[in-house]
Chains A and B, each alone.
Chain A
């Protein structure tokens, strides 16, 4: 009984170690997937808005637009005149009375400039140039934060893939070592089994099941940890998002993702066990 309990306790600790190891990429994946949803909901077209000074002439804005259209870095230029902007504002629900109360048009002529390609470096360069151009009050890169978030997300995904890869190797190593110890513990039984006619396949089978089970139990623990972690984080994240008028929250893995994770971990556990039995069962021969 003591031996049985010791074996179960060791198996539980192994599963816990695997669970903690798997929780890191699984949790990271859940967070990154949630952030991706946030960044894709935002405008991340590489563009900048160039606000002319209110005392600049419409001709100055048109000349600047013409100059930009000849610039190879620029994909498209749209001129929004101060009259168009005011008309647009007037058409916005609830603002007509406000616009009427203004008396004069306070809005500047604006150029909306889209750049060619991803525009990461070009946008900043153009914004700096246009900021110094005559008649320009401000050149502002739009949706910069969203693009940075998207870039961070890409970095995060890459880091996650690396961590997942390293932990996958770790999972195989844990399964390999667990099965090795199990084989050594059952060395006598294996030797007797070989003597009385058990095939290698028959002897291997319970060890392979153990490896598979270890991977699966690790995933269950990992999913529970991730779920608990997300619940805890969401208690703060939801409040923070509300201050920005967003209903953003960190989402748990979908059923398909959880099944995929379980399949991968189970397969890795099985693979580690297979490597171990292939290596160590050969060494045990009846004497």
Chain B
């Protein structure tokens, strides 16, 4: 186990994501993150682990500028996302694929329409957008369910649908917050395999999970958080 990347986070190297002494304090005084520094290389697969309330979700939200740091800086592709104007946020998020524990699917639309949503504001012609949506559904094994309503899908399938929606615009970074929570071991393993598959084709993937046992088999870097502090990092397996 090393903390090399934690030390190098403030160096001049061009990291894909870089946290430098980042703290996040919520109104009411709760400290979600305290002086966290680390960096992520382009094309890396990184797990962020820790118990509930350790600060994993806050860390991912800072990358997507859903939250702003109280101090320190968060750089994504060299951009200080904490200082971005609100009007610039959509363009940052288009380059990120976001997957949440609660999936955030639209249940008044079909599986296909949920995946089409991010393509609505892309420049793709309709035929190309449809092709991309079906390709994304195919990658997560849901093409045959494209006309179904998300409510008809199992928990694992809903999570796969959320992944399809996250990757349909081919983002360079995929962020997943507890994507395997509420899933059985097999479904959880299947979901993580999908993330690994996307990582193998060059997508940088950050997965936050409380389940350290589940990520051990992937032999990749893991950041360990506890009570908002970065305890250390190392490789699994």
Residues of B within 8 A of A (CB): 64, 66, 86-87, 89-94, 96, 98, 104-106, 108, 117-118, 120-121, 165-166, 169
Q: How far is the CA of A197 from the CA of B104 in the complex (A)?
A: 14
Q: B117 contacts which of A192, A286, A287 (Cβ < 8 Å)? A: A192
Q: Counting CB contacts under 8 A, is A3 at the interface?
A: yes
**If A192-B117, A287-B66 touch, does A197 touch B93 (CB 8 Å cutoff)?**
yes
- Find B90's partner among A3, A188, A189, A197 (CB 8 Å cutoff): A197
Selected contact of A189 from candidates B89, B93, B106, B165, CB within 8 Å = B106
- Tell me if A196 is interfacial: C-beta within 8 Å of chain B: yes
A199:B66 contact, CB within 8 angstroms: no
> Cβ of A199 and Cβ of B121 under 8 Å apart?
yes
CB <8 Å contact, A3 and B108 = yes
Interface residues of A in 250-287 (CB under 8 A from B): 285-287
* B108:A199 contact, CB within 8 angstroms: no
CB contacts (< 8 Å) of B64 on chain A: these are 195, 286
Nearest CB of A to B166, in Å: 8
Q: Verify B104–A198 contact, CB threshold 8 A.
A: no
B-side interface mostly = helix
**8 Å CB contacts to B: which residues of A94-143?**
none
| Residue in B90, B92, B98 whose Cβ sees the most chain A Cβ within 10 Å | B90
**Contact indicator per residue, chain A 177-198, by CB within 8 Å of chain B (1) or not (0):** 0000000000011011111111
Q: Considering the chains assembled together, what is the distance between the CA atoms of A284 and B108 in angstroms?
A: 19
Task: Tell whether, in the assembled complex, residue A199 and residue B106 are in contact, meaning their CB atoms are under 8 Å apart.
Answer: no
Instruction: Find the A residue at minimum CB distance from B98.
Output: A195
| A-to-B contact residues, CB < 8 Å | 3, 188-189, 191-200, 202, 285-287
Considering only CB atoms, which chain A residue lies closest to B103 in the complex? A192
Q: A3-B108, A192-B104 given. 19 additional CB < 8 A pairs?
A: A188-B104, A191-B104, A194-B90, A195-B64, A195-B66, A196-B94, A196-B117, A196-B166, A196-B169, A197-B91, A197-B96, A197-B118, A197-B121, A198-B90, A198-B121, A200-B86, A200-B87, A202-B90, A202-B120
Residues of A within 8 A of B98 (CB): 195-196
Are B117 and A193 in contact (CB-based, < 8 A)?
yes
| 20 contacts across the A-B interface (CB closer than 8 A) | A3-B108, A192-B105, A192-B117, A194-B89, A195-B66, A195-B93, A195-B98, A196-B93, A196-B98, A196-B117, A196-B118, A196-B165, A196-B169, A197-B90, A197-B93, A197-B94, A197-B96, A197-B121, A202-B121, A286-B64
